[in-house]
A and B are shown apart, each in its own frame.
Chain A
């Protein structure tokens, strides 16, 4: 099933939108400045609506089915969040209005800063970063600047475990620092000896995801953070997996100095087909002055409390225009207010319960490289005894025929044929059972009829796509418009 492109259904003279005639005299247009042709499509309203509705129907999404994409926390996105961020008092507000005309928006941001501070244990929060990787860049720049201002300009290395997301080393490079990779030990923790061997006065700090991308809580975490501090470094917490820790522990208590939150994972804001997210950053009191801004602060004048925007005095500078992805902040605020303390802890507990339950259902068939209690997600090998030619990719594609989104494939890099599975707390036991049964059935199919897996998926709008062709200089096609 394929849908024609907008340019293919375009016909000269059609339009989906009528605008009024000018109610002012027409001004003369500057000759020599104008464009000759505007090659946008021309589509009628009904055709346009059908086009996008049909496109939407080609997607798998949380609203259509289970989406256990490890590391992405594809939990249910509550509908009330969508209604709240669309209130006209929030959408029809300009970011440069005088602060006394936007006290409601600032109050929401100020309270959200407080909630995130309470949940994480960090006293200072900036809501400005737009996504997780953006928060990472922010955090690494903060660490770098703090150490530079301490006079330790020789520090130019960030330690990154080999299980880390690719964004960690990429954020380090963008900050002008060097990456040194630290191996994991046999239980999936940071290898303490290797860490110690790399700790010296060149080290800015360690970037650590905890629980890590294997879904494991580091068994020596307090020791790891203590040693980095002892060497004069700082510890960055990648909050991608914070869903497992809500109300379970505060990252600041674990020895982290900086942490980014992913509101689009932990706090139920939708992933939008790839964004927008939101990646607020929390820091210790010592690092508060380096945060990007503006951020919201409370002042008192003769009429009482008053909210204002301010730039921290030694800020690394703004990381984007204005104050953050406000519409996403409204959604996360709504979620936190509806759950409260008890609800947030239940989120973490049930996320961990679901992951361990699902693991218990499939662990006899899919090899588990690190045999420990997992947190909110786990990684198994996509390797089936008796089916040597079947790969993790084949299992993933076959899962689509059962109506499921596949797990994350081939990540983390340290697990052979990795399948990284994160069920989230919003899925029922019936859904988990159906997914487990599909995985067990696929293992049987792999032994009996491996071709069924190699040629999967069979029931999707398209079969496997030729990814090489899309990137090869001779066949690459990235645009379909007049002039491309």
Chain B
């Protein structure tokens, strides 16, 4: 049997030691009427066969090695240096579990501590946790942390309409039993000023995204004014960010954010059809006891040597049970390790270069598309790597033509989330898109536009 080492002799000796005749005798507590059901599953395969079968199955997908990709909308194709997966593939990392025993888990613990440190450096915050399931669940946990900070007396949460639609939906799922009022995102015209006007003494937090779900950037001055208004109500400002954008643009810690969250997938994790990704979460020291999940802290061993342990466990479910700050146990540790290795590999210069490449290429694409008859690049704000194009032909039809005739994933049809933008196409350009690909996109759009 695969992965079971026992010989018949082993099994016989073990049964004798236990004092039973047959393995079946160990299952007498299972009600007889339901014991040993007939199952129907495909015949087992050898490794040779499963490799062949899954290779063929995987090749039925149109993968991005063979298709030009201008699709983002929350999951992004970025360059991943070879060393990331090589290091992740060390069994000592990926076959360990949560580092409950620090003496034999210093590798994982120090790697998480370094991850926390780099997330703090990137976001301009003071503490970070060891990760959430993804950007959307990090937003949901930010809402819960803000409720905790407000001692559950504040019951209102304000969402920007350009906070990613999935982040808002997941936060609504998480909080459906909590009796909250969630508002602000009912009108796409709500910008920072309109949102700030909704803030009052019952508000736990206000959540915006920068760059937002349409790619637009908000200036540090504008964000600071929003933070001041939110703080004036005694609420917290939560900012969701694209971590790659922080290679170039001001970190939320510089403009008054209390909690910074985001989708960490762009940091060294492949697209993998939507997961596994990681959500990062950073905040100010004063709120650390309201944070969910694992946090690693520095300490010393009995001989005074520096080491790392899980810190502040009294927030967590295995100690506090129903009074815990969250139910999270397993997180996305290996994805956070990928993010760490990625950030360390790119470093101070490299991350800025990636962000600049995205910026320059996205602006080249936007300029070219804006010149096409019938197309309009909308929005007056600066943007980072995504921008909205109003299309002369129905967007879904345009996208199908691009994929079928040009092998191009042209972007995301915004009408699915924003009825006001039924003719809107969200185009994403990263360092992975060559000038030739961009020129092909422009030519393809010109062809569709007729």
Contact = CB atoms under 8 A, between A and B. Distances in A.
Contact of A318 (B6, B54, B173, B317): B173
A29 to B, nearest CB: 7
B87 A53 contact: yes
A63 B254 CA distance: 44
Candidate in B11, B15, B35, B92 with the most chain A CB atoms within 10 angstroms: B92
A434 interface: no
Interface in A300-347: 316-328, 330, 334, 336-347
A350 interface: yes
Given A166-B319, A400-B103, A480-B117, A97 B438 contact: no
A132 interface: yes
A357 B14 contact: yes
Interface in A83-101: 83-98, 101
B235 interface: no
Contacts of B341: 48, 52
Candidate in A95, A165, A174, A353 with the most chain B CB atoms within 10 angstroms: A174
Given A59-B104, A131-B330, A429-B14, A35 B321 contact: no
Interface string A473-484: 001111111111
Interface in A387-440: 396-397, 400, 405-406, 408, 411, 425-429
Contacts of A245: 30
A38 interface: yes
Contacts of B344: 6, 16, 40-41, 43, 48, 51
B398 interface: no
A90 B219 contact: no
A95 B301 CA distance: 45
A247 B36 contact: yes
Contact of A483 (B108, B121, B301, B317): B121
A76 B169 CA distance: 37
Contacts of A441: none
A253 B29 contact: no
Interface stretch (B134-142, B184-192, B196-204, B225-233): B134-142
Contact of B120 (A69, A87, A483): A483
Given A63-B91, A87-B58, A273-B94, A478 B5 contact: no
A397 B166 contact: no
Given A33-B382, A464-B103, A103 B83 contact: no
A42 to B, nearest CB: 5
Contact of A42 (B71, B99, B348): B348
Contacts of A471: 297, 311-314
Interface string A256-267: 000000001000
B28 interface: yes
Contact of A92 (B65, B134, B297): B65
Interface string B343-355: 1111111111110
A470 B347 contact: no
Contact of A170 (B54, B124, B322): B322
Nearest to A54: B107
B111 to A, nearest CB: 6
Nearest to B167: A321
A167 interface: yes
A40 B348 contact: yes
A94 to B, nearest CB: 5
B307 A2 contact: yes
A259 to B, nearest CB: 14
Contacts of A322: 75, 134, 166, 273-275
A426 B135 contact: no
A27 B127 contact: no
A327 B272 CA distance: 6
B329 to A, nearest CB: 5
A35 B61 contact: no
Contact of A319 (B173, B316, B352, B438): B173
Interface in B299-324: 299-303, 305-314, 316-324
Given A118-B41, A478-B116, A353 B14 contact: yes
A102 B6 CA distance: 41
Candidate in A25, A248, A347 with the most chain B CB atoms within 10 angstroms: A248
Interface stretch (B155-163, B356-364, B370-378): B356-364
Interface in A78-134: 78, 80, 82-98, 101-105, 107-108, 115, 118-119, 121, 130-134
B21 to A, nearest CB: 13
Given A170-B327, A253-B37, A352-B23, A481 B58 contact: no
B173 A40 contact: no
Contacts of A5: 110, 113-114, 117
B322 A275 contact: no
Interface in A269-298: 270-278, 292
Nearest to A136: B327
A274 B99 contact: yes
B65 to A, nearest CB: 5
Nearest to B27: A248
Given A22-B361, A90-B273, A35 B75 contact: no
Contact of B61 (A39, A93, A349): A93
A427 B343 CA distance: 37
Contacts of A69: 97, 100
Given A118-B39, A133-B330, A344-B41, A75 B276 contact: no
B350 A19 contact: yes
A27 B308 CA distance: 44
A96 B332 CA distance: 22
Contacts of A354: 14
Nearest to B210: A33
A102 B273 contact: yes
Contact of A22 (B83, B360, B399): B360
A59 B221 contact: no
26 contacts: A27-B360, A29-B356, A33-B250, A38-B351, A43-B345, A52-B87, A55-B106, A61-B96, A62-B96, A64-B91, A87-B55, A94-B77, A98-B403, A121-B37, A141-B173, A247-B39, A272-B93, A273-B94, A274-B333, A275-B332, A276-B330, A321-B263, A322-B273, A349-B23, A408-B100, A477-B298
List of 4 A-B pairs having minimum Cβ-Cβ separation, nearest first:
A176-B177, A89-B58, A322-B274, A63-B91
Given A134-B137, A341-B40, A478-B116, 10 more contacts: A24-B435, A27-B363, A33-B217, A41-B348, A60-B104, A170-B321, A276-B275, A276-B278, A321-B166, A322-B166
